[in-house]
Amino acid sequence: MKTGILRWSKKAAKIIVITIGSVFLLLFLLPYILPGTISKEIKKLVNNSIEGKVEFSKARLSFFKHFPSLTLTLYNFKSTGSVPYQDETLLAAGEVAFGIRIPDLIRGNIHINEFFMKEASINILVDEEGDANYNVFKSSSVSADTSSSAPDTTTALQIEKIVIEKSILVYKDAYADIFISANGLNYSGKGDLSKAIFDLASHISINSFDININGEPYVINKKINADLVTKVNTNSLELEFAKNTVMVNRLPLEITGKYEFLSRGERMNFELSSEKADLGDVFTALPPSYQGWRKKTKIKGDARISASLSGLYIAGTDTIPDLAFSMKLRDGYIAYENLSEPVSNLYLDLETRMPALNLDSLSLNIDSVFFNLGKDHLSSVLKIKGYEAPYIFTRTSGEMDLEKVGKFLGLQQYELKGKLSLQLDADGYYAE
């Protein structure tokens, strides 16, 4: 009895080992059995799907590059953009790989469902007329030849996963006067991109992120970590952002909204908020020039931030979105290393609006601000409307030691002494 069980066990073990070995052997050999067919079909698909020139130094098939997917990897990949950028690089990458669905391959079809990119440089350009270099996809996909003389094979894009590693993205829009750069970009996204309407779940990390609008820097050298869920409608060219979590350095933000591409512009409605932020984390999102001061300072307090950008942007007209921002601070505490007494009891209610992004339409409303500096204090209400000849209303009062103020502001190069008693009332227009 024991002998029979032992023989059966040995036989079962041999079958399992042979089966597993055969599977791994097939995984290893299949790229060499069908390399010509797969490479030919994918190259045909790229040429039939994209306007512009595509170049690469070599191609390799492997199961183990992005296991368990069978992938065709193109090395030293380069593609140009659409007119009028047909001679300028849209994408250059050390590696571009296409994942292939194995069940479809067994049935004689080649469906690309994954896309991988490594060490890429992505350059998105829009000229002053609104023409972009990324319009490289042809309006309809072309299937492989199905005549009697051609192989019974079809090739299609059904992208479900996108992975980008260690890359650089640059967006230059002369149409809207916007410059964006992202260095150290890592992205992973999942969704059925073959559908007209689909949800795209994404994770993004960026080592250094910058935004420049109308020549003015708005975001400088920020680290970004984000988890996003985006509903994409390719029929209406609309993006809908569900509740998305973004970390700017250590500041947590929630972003919602919609973005729609129009024939000569965009329609947008973005809302950004941070309901329970720490005041110290808010300071980490400030430009790098403030970070030296930040490292020498202990900061505490509760902050609530909200911002919105909404409206139409139509080139060549005065139709531009409205910008709004508000901040509430409670129980703020700031202790600078060169200051014997901290700023405490910091309280702030601030709202600002800029219709059509027009500085002369700017309105700033500081409903109240208060803080103590040791035993000293400052209290103020401030309202400003306009820029060139602004209307100003303020009620400000305080008692401040000038030496303490100088140390807090980092003005060590100046010798400040004395006591400032302040009572400032203003109500009217200021013009030079």
**Token couple for 353:** 């609006």
The predicted pLDDT at position 104 comes to 61
Per-residue confidence (pLDDT) for residue 406, from 0 to 100: 80
As beta bridge partners, residue 178 has 173, 213
Within a domain: 82 = yes
- Is the predicted pLDDT of residue 33 greater than 70, yes or no? no
Q: 200, 191 in Cβ contact below 8 A?
A: yes
Do residues 39 and 59 lie in contact, with contact meaning Cβ atoms separated by under 8 Å?
Answer: yes
Query: Is the pLDDT confidence value at 46 over 70?
Result: no
R_g over Cα of the chain: 30
Residue 94 CA to residue 67 CA, distance in Å, equals 19
Q: What is the pLDDT of residue 277?
A: 87
Structural domain count, the chain = 1
Handedness of CA 366, 368, 372, 378 (dihedral sign): positive
DSSP for residue 321: -
In a domain, 39, yes or no: yes
Taking 50 as the threshold, does the pLDDT of residue 23 lie above it? Answer: no
Per-residue pLDDT at 174 exceeds 50: yes
Tens digits of per-residue pLDDT, 316-343? 777 888 999 999 999 999 887 766 788 8
- pLDDT value at 310 more than 90: yes
Q: Which of 79-88, 245-254, 337-346 has the highest mean pLDDT?
A: 245-254
Q: How far apart are CA 253 and CA 319, in angstroms?
A: 28
Structural domain containing residue 169: 28-135+151-176
User: Does any domain span residue 379?
Assistant: no
Tokens 């901290």, located at residue: 342
Q: Scanning the structure block, which residue is given the tokens 């994409």?
A: 232
Residue 313 vs residues 220, 316, 317: alpha-carbon distances, Å: 24, 9, 8
Asked whether 374 and 346 are in contact (CB, 8 A), the reply is no
Our CA angle for 215, 261, 121, nearest 5°, is 60
Question: ∠242-246-250 over CA atoms, to 5°?
Answer: 160
Residue 197 lies in a domain: no
Residue 235 lies in a domain: no
Report the distance separating Cα 346 and Cα 331, nearest Å. 6
Within-domain flag for 73: yes
* Residue in 222, 212, 217, 280 with CA at minimum distance from that of residue 247: 222
Angle between helices 2-33 and 35-49 (to 10 degrees): 50
40: three-class secondary structure by DSSP: helix
Q: Is the preceding peptide bond at 287 cis, omega within 30 degrees of 0? A: no
Q: What is the predicted pLDDT for the residue at 183?
A: 95
CA 75, CA 73: separation in Å to the nearest integer?
6
Strand pairing category for 110-126 and 155-173 = parallel
Name, of 9-13, 70-74, 295-299, 320-324, the range with top average pLDDT: 320-324
Q: Which pLDDT does position 333 carry in this prediction?
A: 92
pLDDT digits (tens, 9 = 90+) for 255-294: 899 988 777 778 899 999 998 889 988 888 776 666 666 7
Place of tokens 């005041």: 279
